[in-house]
């Protein structure tokens, strides 16, 4: 099939990036997808084994802060679209190492913006720089209310501050240079290939291993959870039908206190693993709270629903069930991560070729 256009996905070997890459590679066989990923601890090519041989897919190992590499890739592939997913994404890591978040999330985003601007400057028609961002830029809610696209930015962790900064740069390139951009800000994702440093996969893994389930503080913090495939479907719709210069909030309308999610995981897993009712709940262990822990996130996704017709397809209990089933069926994926084996995959697959 003749390739019509080439899209750069950054961070395609990560959690959301791998679902996004898979969706685009399979759904758009006449488009070439180039996945640029540094393969940090969070990047795992095993997430993409099912599509790595697809004729419209290419993987490039590299850093989004490497401007020379970015220029070379734009020259080589003539990208018409960028789906920018690469980031340092874990709040706890940003608390212990804020600078690496500034480097990748701010400097990396500006490097990409600058390269796209230079490469596209003579013809901005039919180009799009899509920046994937987070609801954490809006700060923390009290017990009431929702984040809308108009909510004032109020980031409170080094992670969210770096994402907020990158969002501001994206808008600055739109206003200053007319670079065609779109931003979406999404709530917490969950699903297969989620790195086990994050709450849901960490608890699934620990329940499987009968290890303690660490609950920060009292477990009263609330997050709005969305199945990752629903997120990437929203990105697909916004990428193709969204309005240049706009921001779209994406969320699940699905708020859960951390402690209730953990109990639901325990309940479903006891059933699936044939354990006694209440057995896994005994693993719950309250630990020191996260510094500056945001109390509540909740997205109002009305704009996306009314303007582009998107809404989440899965109920949470069902999505959580599918997620647990995936982790139970893919213990090798988890083993490779926890032993560090997954980082050898690149060498075996690519460097020995
Ligand atoms: P992730 O940590 O699972 O994956 C990040 C990917 O980016 C990895 O493959 C990593 O190797 C790559 N990467 C990191 N630094 C890089 C660099 N300098 N150059 C090239 N590649 C690099 O992250 P995720 O959870 O999939 O999040 C993806 C994006 O979605 C991020 O921008 C994040 O802020 C945003 N987001 C995540 C969530 C969520 O719940 N996970 C929700 C809303 C928005
Ligand atoms: O809201 C979107 C954001 O969601 C994304 O932008 C981030 O990239 C993503 O990591 C996620 O951030 P959170 O901090 O909300 O996710 P995390 O899984 O780290 O934590 C979820 C909640 O669970 C949070 O209130 C902290 C708590 N928690 C987390 C861990 C890892 C625990 O109680 N125990 C834990 O061990």
Domain coordinates in residue numbering, the chain: 6-190+228-253+296-314
Query: Which one of 57, 138, 159, 248 is the catalytic residue?
Result: 159
Nearest ligand to the C-alpha atom of residue 103: 1
Q: pLDDT value at position 287?
A: 97
Q: Which fold has domain 6-190+228-253+296-314?
A: Rossmann fold (3.40.50)
Q: pLDDT value at position 339?
A: 87
Whose C-alpha lies nearest to ligand 1, atom 36?
134
Q: Which residues of 70-102 are buried (b: 16+ CB within 10 A; e: fewer)?
A: beebbeebebbbbbbbbbbbbbebbeeebeebb
CA of 278 to the centre of ligand 1 (A): 35
Between the CA of residue 314 and those of 137, 151, 171, 268, 317, what are the distances in Å?
A: 25, 27, 32, 17, 9
159 in active site = yes
Q: pLDDT value at position 241?
A: 97
- Counting from 1 in the atom list of ligand 1, the atom nearest the Cα of 86 is 7
User: Beta strand pairing status for 81-84 and 5-10?
Assistant: parallel
Q: Considering only CA atoms, which of 60, 31, 17 is closest in space to residue 231?
A: 17
Q: pLDDT value at position 213?
A: 97
Contact 49, 98 (CB under 8 A): no
Whose C-alpha lies nearest to ligand 2, atom 23?
199
CA of 8 to the centre of ligand 1 (A): 15
264 in active site = no
Q: Is 188 in the pocket of ligand 2 (CB under 6 A)?
A: yes
Q: Is 73 in the pocket of ligand 1 (CB under 6 A)?
A: no
Nearest ligand to the C-alpha atom of residue 132: 1
Q: Is 21 in the pocket of ligand 1 (CB under 6 A)?
A: no
Q: pLDDT value at position 1?
A: 62
- Counting from 1 in the atom list of ligand 2, the atom nearest the Cα of 157 is 14
The total of other beta-carbon atoms located within 10 Å of residue 192's CB is: 20
CA of 27 to the centre of ligand 2 (A): 30
Q: pLDDT value at position 79?
A: 98
- Counting from 1 in the atom list of ligand 2, the atom nearest the Cα of 258 is 23
Residues 6+ apart with CB under 8 A from 257: 219, 220, 221, 222
Query: Which one of 88, 136, 255, 300 is the catalytic residue?
Result: 136
136 in active site = yes
Q: Which residues in the chain come in under a pLDDT of 50?
A: none
């Amino acid at each position: 099939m003749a390739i019509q256009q080439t899209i750069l996905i950054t961070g395609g070997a990560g959690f959301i990036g791998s679902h996004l890459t898979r969706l685009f590679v399979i759904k758009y066989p006449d488009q070439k997808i180039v996945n640029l990923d540094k393969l940090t601890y969070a990047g795992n090519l095993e997430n993409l084994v099912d599509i790595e041989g697809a004729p419209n897919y290419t993987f490039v190992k590299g850093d989004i802060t490497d401007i020379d590499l970015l220029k070379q890739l734009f020259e080589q592939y003539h990208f018409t679209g960028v789906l920018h997913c690469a980031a340092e994404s874990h709040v706890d890591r940003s608390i212990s190492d804020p600078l690496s978040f500034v480097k990748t999330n701010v400097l990396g985003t500006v490097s990409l913006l600058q390269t796209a601007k230079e490469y596209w400057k003579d013809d901005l028609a039919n180009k799009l720089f899509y920046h994937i961002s987070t609801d954490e830029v809006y700060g923390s809610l009290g017990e009431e209310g929702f984040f809308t696209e108009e909510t004032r930015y109020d980031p409170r962790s080094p992670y969210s501050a770096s994402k907020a900064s990158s969002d501001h740069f994206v808008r600055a390139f739109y206003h200053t240079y007319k670079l065609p951009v779109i931003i979406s800000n999404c709530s917490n994702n969950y699903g297969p290939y989620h790195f086990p440093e994050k709450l849901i996969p960490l608890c699934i893994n620990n329940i499987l291993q009968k290890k303690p389930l660490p609950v920060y503080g009292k477990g009263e913090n609330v997050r709005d959870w969305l199945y990752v495939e629903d997120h990437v479907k929203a990105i697909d719709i916004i990428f193709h039908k969204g309005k240049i210069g706009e921001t779209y909030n994406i969320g699940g309308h699905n708020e859960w206190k951390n402690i209730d999610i953990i109990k639901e995981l325990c309940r479903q897993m006891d059933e699936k693993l044939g354990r006694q009712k209440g057995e896994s709940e005994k693993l719950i262990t309250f630990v020191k709270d996260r510094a500056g822990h945001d109390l509540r996130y909740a997205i109002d996704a009305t704009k996306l629903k009314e303007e582009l017709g998107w809404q989440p397809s899965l109920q949470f209990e069902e999505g959580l069930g599918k997620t647990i089933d995936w982790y139970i069926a893919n213990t090798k994926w988890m083993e490779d991560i926890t032993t560090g084996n997954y980082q050898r995959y690149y060498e075996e697959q690519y460097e020995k070729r």
